[in-house]
Amino acid sequence: MSDVSVVTTTVDSAEAAESLAKGVIEARLGACVQIVPIRSVYRWDGEVRVDAEWQCVVKTSTIRVDDLVAHIKTHHTYDVPEVVVTPVTGGNDDYLAWVSEETS
């Protein structure tokens, strides 16, 4: 088990994704944010919707997760932003060490 987690959220534009990612990196809450264009199908306010979104995948130290989640919620435009935390159980030890160094 490592001390790294992956935090995923989605936003409604490429600009919002880049802004959020830059803020996360500048605050040292994440070592890397990958931005991926996606299509989401979901129910909101009783209506099925299909929207373009940009998924932000943040690699961070587990000890920084609470601060990262708070940052995302504060800087997000959605009423109820997706924020999902997944613990990393293994991987390239050199990469995982880099993530820890960048977020300490």
Predicted TM-score (pTM) of the model is 0.94
Q: Where are the alpha helices (DSSP H) in the chain?
A: 14-26, 65-75, 93-102
Whether residue 1 has pLDDT greater than 70? no
pLDDT in tens, 71-88: 999 999 999 999 999 999
Contact 59, 99 (CB under 8 A): yes
Cα 77 from chain centre: 14
**Considering Cα of 97, then 95, then 39, then 87, what sign does the dihedral take?**
negative
Give the per-residue pLDDT at 74.
Answer: 96
In angstroms, rounded to a whole number, what is the distance separating the alpha carbons of residues 57 and 8?
5
pLDDT in tens, 11-65: 999 999 999 999 999 999 999 999 999 999 999 999 999 999 999 999 999 999 9
Residue 15, class by beta-carbon neighbours within 10 Å (0-12 exposed, 13-18 middle, 19+ buried)?
exposed
